[in-house]
Structure 1
């Protein structure tokens, strides 16, 4: 008997801009070659100012995000202040590395804190962690490395960064059979989090 699991073979993109970060993802979840969910939400709240994008096994990444969110809630109570983005990312890294033989989880951890501003940490499967100005993950990322490298600018405004992310996810959806649906975006700044959804008619269509 053959078994399938829900898999987030996906496209994740995140980029820093002066004042915050923007993260984005498609919404397709597949079970083998079958699309199990067209509108899943892969952008997950960890704290009020730190979110993650998930790729890999849906079950693994959901459980991982829940555990890290619980630990950070306890950490914030103990410390009496919001958790730093790097603290959240390090908690992900510790668990991804400790259980690297059991988990299939790729994470982009992004957020804002008053010490270091907007930050993005990429945690590919296996538990490595690296901070990047612009990062991508999932099966669709291989199609858009050139676009990201050529078009990212560190002095983006928030709206320019949103448009950059929207176009990147759209291009990956156009080429990658495991990415699809809508493009969800979260803008994280000192003022909080703004979430947007771009439906099919709002996605960028390459000529």
Structure 2
């Protein structure tokens, strides 16, 4: 049975060309969007390893500092480590310069690190969001060093379903209640259709 499980995981998730016997597939749905009242971040809580549900209570929103949040999609270890590392860099910036780092600068720091480690097998798709003197800001950063500014993003295996809801119902003049409902509804539809997304909705 142990050998069967090992070969099962290897055949389902492995990458023989890279000499890596087991490569765990990831699945999630995370989203964030701006509106006149601020920013909504909405995520599911399921963690998967191939066809196996590893956990249903994963915290996918990481507090970088009191004014910055990051989301987790891809490899949990990569997201957790590098976003906490970003928190340290943001604190160092604040101590050196006597003021808080902007959301744009924080996202650029993370994108630069990802670009430097490109090709090392990192797996990360995150949204860096928060508030600074210019107002609420939202950026997307991934493991290739891509950095995009936008009004709404969704990342993960269920993102196409979440985008379907956001594309139809998002607008800048949403009330706080409407924005909360939209965040919940987008994650609900994604978890309903995407087997790798599920658990509870953290918003």
Coarse TM-score class (shorter-chain normalised): 0.7 to 0.9
- Say whether 1:77 aligns with 2:95: yes
Partner SS for 1:149: helix
Equivalent position of 1:36 in the other structure: 54
The offset of 1:79, in angstroms, is 1.7
- State the shift of 1:8 in Å: 4.7
Query: Which of 162, 176, 201 is residue 144 of structure 1 equivalent to?
Result: 162
Range moving further from structure 2, 5-14 or 157-166: 5-14
CA deviation vs aligned residue, 1:98-144 (integer Å, no higher than 9, x gap): 11212111111111112x21111012341111111111111100123
2:132 is the counterpart of 1:88: no
User: Can you give the 5+ residue segments of structure 2 that lack an aligned partner in the other structure?
Assistant: 1-5, 11-20
In the alignment, what sits opposite 1:189? none
1:40-76 Cα offsets, whole Å, 9 max, x none, are 0000011111101111011111111121111111111
C-alpha RMSD of the superposition: 1.6
Q: What is the rounded CA distance, in whole Å, between the counterparts of 2:45 and 2:144 in structure 1?
A: 24
Structure 1 residue ranges without an equivalent (≥5): 186-207
Q: Which residue of structure 1 aligns with residue 186 of structure 2?
A: 168
Distance verdict in 2 for CA 1:8–1:44, change over 3 Å: farther
Q: Is the 8 A contact 1:68 1:88 kept in 2?
A: yes
Query: In the alignment, which residue of structure 1 is the partner of 2:173?
Result: 155
Aligned to 1:67: 85
Q: Could you say which residue in structure 1 is the equivalent of 2:15? A: none
Residue 132 of structure 2 is matched in structure 1 by: 113
SS of equivalent residue, structure 1 residue 179: coil
Which one has a larger percent strand, Structure 1 or Structure 2? 1
CA–CA distance in structure 2, aligned partners of residues 69 and 7 of structure 1:
27
1:15 maps to what in 2?
Answer: 33
Displaced runs of 4 or more, over 3 A = 1-8
Residue 163 of structure 2 contacts residue 186 of structure 2 at CA under 8 Å; is this kept in 1?
no
TM-score by length of 1: 0.83
Structure showing greater Rg: 2
Report the Cα distance in structure 1 between the residues aligned to 2:132 and 2:23, rounded to whole angstroms. 36
Determine which structure has the larger helix proportion and give its number.
2
CA contact (8 A) 2:57 2:200 kept: yes
**Alpha-carbon distance in structure 2 between the residues aligned to 1:124 and 1:9:** 15
Name the CA distance, whole Å, in 1 between partners of 2:143 and 2:88. Answer: 22
- How many residues in Structure 1 have an aligned counterpart in Structure 2? 184
Partners of 2:26 and 2:69 in 1: how far apart? 17
